Amino acid sequence: MSFIKSIKKSGSKINLYKLDKDILAKQTKGTTLFSNGINICVLDLETTGLNMEEDKIIEIALKVVKIDKIDGNIISFEESYESFQDPGMHIEDNISKITGIDDEMVAGHEIDWNKVNKIVQASDIMVAHNAKFDRSFMDRYMPLSKDKIWACSVYDIDWLNRGFVKGSLELLSIWHGFYYDSHRAMNDVDAVIHLLTHPSNKDNKPVVELINNSQIPYYEVIASKSPYESKDILRSHNYRWNGENKYWWKRVNKDEIDKERSWLTDSVYDGYFMGIVEEVLIQDKYKK
């Protein structure tokens, strides 16, 4: 993997800059007669763990940014909100090490869900880095979340086609020449915004790709009844294991369905397709 071409270098070293609010503010282009804005709410949660059904939110951050959906430039920053949440239970040490959040920091704090609801209501698209995780918690805590269109800054952008082999926020940020204090909610939100609208992308900003993909249904190809011995070939073909329902699956676009059916038929099912193809509507993307 190579860094972006515009990254600053000094001999064999690279120079990273630390992301701050001033850098984001300088990206703001303002509105023009030809602006075509859309409100994107970028969200990040810190939680007591990874169990989407039982763990609890301990920090939330949201920032609404108005984006020109034609050129991907930032028109304005609309609203933002961040808060700790006392989960009513001890935050495990390993979670504190990851997030930097401990029991003392969250004690007595409570998220103002009325304010969160107002911000979400005024947003056209909800965005998170690994949206399935964040959406699962938001859907539990706030009914409005279930009716919103969600997009994912990992899976709704073809980072590989852009030259990046990994999709973690920290790595993508470094490859774009900046770093930030990760795993604090608002810092992660600002990093996602900067990454999606990075000045190095003059004509093909990732945020435009994300906006466009958020409006397109995708499909899940489920390799149901696949033989146990096919697990390695399925994994090598980018299928994922659904531990809850016990099957391998892969997300594809509509024009990839026939090709994927043929591959499964020949490589897994010995000539007879036994899989399932399910359409996922745009409002149901990233639901648990």
Domains and CATH numbers, the chain: 8-214 (3.30.420.10), 218-284 (3.30.70)
Collapsing DSSP to helix, strand or coil, 208 comes out as helix
Note the pLDDT of residue 8: 77
Residue 213 to residue 218: CA distance in whole angstroms? 9
What is the Cβ-side half-sphere exposure of residue 281, based on CA atoms within 13 angstroms?
A: 5
Is residue 284 predicted with pLDDT exceeding 80?
yes
In which residue are the tokens 């604090």 written?
184
Helix 185-196 to helix 206-214 angle (10° resolution) is 100
**CB-based contact 272:262 (threshold 8 Å):** no
Residue 84 to residue 171: CA distance in whole angstroms? 26
Collapsing DSSP to helix, strand or coil, 108 comes out as coil
Is residue 32 predicted with pLDDT exceeding 80?
no
Note the pLDDT of residue 285: 94
pTM, whole model, 2 decimals?
0.89
Note the pLDDT of residue 1: 54
Residue 61 to residue 258: CA distance in whole angstroms? 41
Say which residue, 189 or 53, is predicted with more confidence: 189
Note the pLDDT of residue 77: 95
What is the percentage of the chain residues whose pLDDT exceeds 90? 84
Q: What is the pLDDT of residues 204-260, one digit of tens each?
A: 899 999 999 999 999 999 999 999 999 999 999 999 998 888 999 999 999 999 999
Note the pLDDT of residue 35: 76
Q: What is the pLDDT of residues 108-165, one digit of tens each?
A: 999 999 999 999 999 999 999 999 999 999 999 999 999 999 999 999 999 999 999 9
Is residue 86 predicted with pLDDT exceeding 80?
yes
**CB-based contact 191:23 (threshold 8 Å):** no
What average pLDDT is seen over the chain? 93
